[in-house]
Structure 1
């Protein structure tokens, strides 16, 4: 089988076999290369696509959700400030106020019209508001012992325009009241008589809040 036979010398037959074998090896190598090229090139494209997809998802920028959260926080924080600025002052209770009546001078002549200054002070710790209209401010004159009421500014003029005042802590409002020097009673129903010379006391009142009595003289 392996020993060449024929009319030609054996070297010729061996040479032909080697050439044929070389051609066969080249053909087989070519077939293997073609198969490898086809199968390798087809698999490479999906792999590259898969790598690109993963890179895109990993590198997605997270900036937009963060900005939205920051804007929402700023908006939420701004609303309470607006609500606070619109809040109205509380009502000034009698306990948050002090009232004082002072004669503008210690002595007046009979027949003069004494003037008195009324000071209302917010002694509380918060800003508040109160109607301080003339119809609510009462100024009274008593005998020195305080037993007899002689006059009040609202006896004959019980009504006055409202005057709502906002008082900061420590804030004050001042009012001047003039007295005709005559007597009066609630409703101004009796004859008004000239008050004679003597020593008297002055008291101011706002609601249930009353000042300490302040003395003055008519001469």
Structure 2
């Protein structure tokens, strides 16, 4: 029996096992020392931390509204700011009207008056009076010819007579309308029909109820009703 370890035995496979066992024991000792040291350190400060956690109330941090808004804008979640409304453009001042320019329709007042007799006996001719007044600030001109200033007689849907039918020449009649001075035209109807084909012998209107109106551009006078016998 050998009294000491053979050097060949230490260098062989038995020697590797021996050193591995010693290293395992050393590692185990180091782990135990580390655990004890950690327990001591945490044990001393643990109650302090717990008590401080218990005694110090959890205060809610105060948030500045301005900062909160800035943060929201920075995060890109702010509502889109309303598009500023465009400043109203200044309306250019209207150019003063010059005397002799064409009358604006808004400056004209058109009216029609029928004769006093609303019922015309056989052979009596209806008469009408048309007035056109310039209410503008200066004198203006207007075409009061038979086409531009039309007097029309109807019976129901039947167009009986019109000053615009069978007009000879250009049919224009430009007049100067002074402010507030009415242009007056009086006309007598011969009780005959008119047509656009300008027949030489127009037929006579039959007894019945008729409507007369005057029109100029978009202007229309109230209807005048009369009767023929």
Q: CA deviation at 1:140?
A: 0.7
Q: Does 1:97 align with 2:116?
A: no
Q: CA deviation at 1:161?
A: 5.8
Counterpart for residue 214 of structure 1: 224
Aligned pairs for 1:177-216 within 5 A: 177-189=187-199, 192-216=202-226
RMSD over aligned CA atoms reads: 2.5
Counterpart for residue 57 of structure 2: none
Counterpart for residue 116 of structure 1: 128
Residue-by-residue CA offset, 1:104-157 (whole Å, 9 max, x unaligned): 2322223333221111112334432112234532111011x4x22111123123
Aligned pairs for 1:128-167 within 5 A: 128-143=140-155, 145=156, 147-159=157-169, 162-167=172-177
Counterpart for residue 74 of structure 1: none
Aligned pairs for 1:9-158 within 5 A: 88-105=99-116, 106-143=118-155, 145=156, 147-158=157-168
The whole-number CA distance in structure 1 between the counterparts of 2:132 and 2:223 is 15
Which is helix-richer, 1 or 2? 1
Provide the secondary structure at the position in 2 that maps to 1:95.
helix
Q: CA deviation at 1:158?
A: 4.8
Provide the secondary structure at the position in 1 that maps to 2:192.
coil
Q: CA deviation at 1:88?
A: 3.6
The whole-number CA distance in structure 2 between the counterparts of 1:178 and 1:153 is 11
Residue-by-residue CA offset, 1:4-36 (whole Å, 9 max, x unaligned): xxxxxxxxxxxxxxxxxxxxxxxxxxxxxxxxx
Structure 1 segments, 4+ long, off by >4 Å, are none
Q: Which runs of 5+ in 2 are unaligned?
A: 1-95
Q: Which runs of 5+ in 1 are unaligned?
A: 1-83
8 Å contact from structure 2 (residues 103, 140) kept in 1: yes
Q: CA deviation at 1:214?
A: 0.9
Q: For this pair of structures, how many residues does the alignment match?
A: 132
The whole-number CA distance in structure 2 between the counterparts of 1:157 and 1:202 is 19
The alpha-carbon distance between structure 1 residues 103 and 186, as it changes in their structure 2 partners (threshold 3 A), is same
The whole-number CA distance in structure 2 between the counterparts of 1:187 and 1:137 is 20
Higher-RCO chain (CA-CA 8 Å, sequence separation at least 6): 1
Provide the secondary structure at the position in 1 that maps to 2:193.
coil
The whole-number CA distance in structure 2 between the counterparts of 1:160 and 1:140 is 19
